[in-house]
Amino acid sequence: MDLCDIREIKQIMNVFHLNFKKEFGQNFLTDRMVVEDIAALCCDADAQDSTILEIGPGIGTLSCELAKRYRRVVALEIDTGLIPVLKFTMGSYPNFTVVNEDVMKADLNALLADAFAEGAVSVCANLPYYITTPILMKLLESGCPFENITVMVQKEVADRLCAHAGSKDYGAITAVLAYYGEAEELFTVRADRFVPAPKVDSAVVRIKLHKEKPYVPKSEAMLFRTIRAAFEQRRKTLPNSLCTGFGELPKETLTAVVERCGHRPDIRGERLDIAQFVTLSDALGEELEKKKMDEGTTA
C-alpha cells in the first residue's frame, strides 16, 4: 500500500465512502520524501525512544513513517469517518493508537499522563489550515513538557512564526512563540504535493521548546497583554499603541515607561524582541501596581 500515491488515496476514500472534507482542512500529503523528512526531523537525532503526539493523521500517511521511527505514536483525529481507514492502514503498527477527538477539546495533560507515561514527547502534524494558530496556542499554553513541536502550516504563517523582530512578518504570535521556544523553518512544500491541492504553498516549522525559559516575566498574563497591545495598532508608535490596551494609564506615563526601558518614544512595537517585551511588561505591571496603591491612599 502506498499512501502517497494519489490513485491509492482516492481508492481508499472511495472504498470507505469518504470525501475530502474541506471543513476539516483535509489536504493529504502525496510526496514520500516530504513525509520521510518531516518524520525524521520532528525529533532530536537520537530520539528513537521518543513518543509522538500526532494531530490529524488523515489516512495515516505521516503516521506510518512516525510509527516506523519512534517508540509510540498517539494521534488525535476529529473525523470519525477516518477511524476505520486508520485501523486498515495502520493495523500492522502496534505502537500506533488513534483517538477520535477534536484536539481543541482534548485534555492534553490527561492524555500525556495516560498515553505517554514515560519518555520524551514531541508533537508532529500536518495541521488543518483553518485552525493553525488556535492549535499552536493550545499546545504551547497546555504546559505539557513537549520537546519539539513540528508542524506543516501555510508558508506565510511559517514566515510569521519564524520572523525576526523588526521584519515585516514579525507579529504578536512570533513574540509569544519566542517566549515558549525557538522556531525554525525547515523547508517549503509546494501546493501540488497534496491532494486535494490547497491554494498556497506550505512550510514545515520545528519549534524547540525551552526546557527553562530564558526570559521570565513577573506575570505571564501581563506579558501577553503587553504583546497584544503593542501590535494592536502596528503603524502607531509603541506608546500610542499601548494607549488602547492600557487605557487606565495616561499616555505620558506609558511614554515614560517605554523610555525607562531604554527605547526612544517613537519606536514601534514590532522592533521589540521577547527579552524587551518581558522588561516592558514588568515595568507596566509595576506602574499599574503603583496606580492601585496611589488610588488606595487617596480614597
Q: Which residue has the cell 523588526?
A: 166
List the one residue from 29, 172, 176, 280 that touches ligand SAM (CB under 6 A): 29
Should residue 57 be labelled a site residue for ligand SAM when binding is judged by CB under 6 A?
A: yes
Should residue 76 be labelled a site residue for ligand SAM when binding is judged by CB under 6 A?
A: yes
List the one residue from 66, 70, 79, 157 that touches ligand SAM (CB under 6 A): 79
Distance CA 266, CA 96 (A): 54
> Which position's Cβ is nearest ligand SAM?
56
Q: Which of 263, 256, 58 is nearest to 165 (CA)?
A: 263
List the one residue from 27, 89, 154, 174 that touches ligand SAM (CB under 6 A): 27
Stretch of 74-82, 113-121, 176-184, 214-222 lying at the interface with ligand SAM (CB under 6 A): 74-82
Give exposure, 162-196, as e/b (b: 16+ Cβ within 10 Å). Answer: bbebeeeebbbbbbbbbbbbebbbbeebeeebbbe
CB nearer to ligand SAM: pick between 32 and 228: 32
List the one residue from 65, 77, 147, 270 that touches ligand SAM (CB under 6 A): 77
Distance CA 74, CA 294 (A): 53
Stretch of 76-84, 227-235, 241-249, 262-270 lying at the interface with ligand SAM (CB under 6 A): 76-84
Should residue 86 be labelled a site residue for ligand SAM when binding is judged by CB under 6 A?
A: no
The separation between the first and the last C-alpha atoms of the chain, rounded to the nearest angstrom, is 76
CB nearer to ligand SAM: pick between 35 and 238: 35
Stretch of 57-65, 85-93, 140-148, 153-161 lying at the interface with ligand SAM (CB under 6 A): 57-65
Should residue 55 be labelled a site residue for ligand SAM when binding is judged by CB under 6 A?
A: yes
* DSSP-assigned beta bridge partners for residue 54: 75, 124
Binding mask 99-118 for ligand SAM (x = CB under 6 A): ---xxx--------------
Binding mask 119-138 for ligand SAM (x = CB under 6 A): -------x-x--x-------
Q: What angle do CA 265, 266, 269 make, to 5 degrees?
A: 95
Q: Which DSSP symbol is given to 67?
A: H
Should residue 279 be labelled a site residue for ligand SAM when binding is judged by CB under 6 A?
A: no
Phi-psi region of 238 (alpha: psi -120 to 50; beta: other; left: phi over 0): alpha
Should residue 270 be labelled a site residue for ligand SAM when binding is judged by CB under 6 A?
A: no
Distance CA 288, CA 291 (A): 5
Helix, strand, coil percentages, rounded to 5, for the chain: 45, 15, 35
Q: How, if at all, do strands 194-195 and 51-55 pair?
A: unpaired
- Looking at residues 165 to 224 of the shown chain, list those that interact with ligand SAM (rule: CB under 6 A): none
Binding residues for ligand SAM (CB under 6 A) = 24-29, 55-58, 61-62, 76-79, 82, 102-104, 126, 128, 131
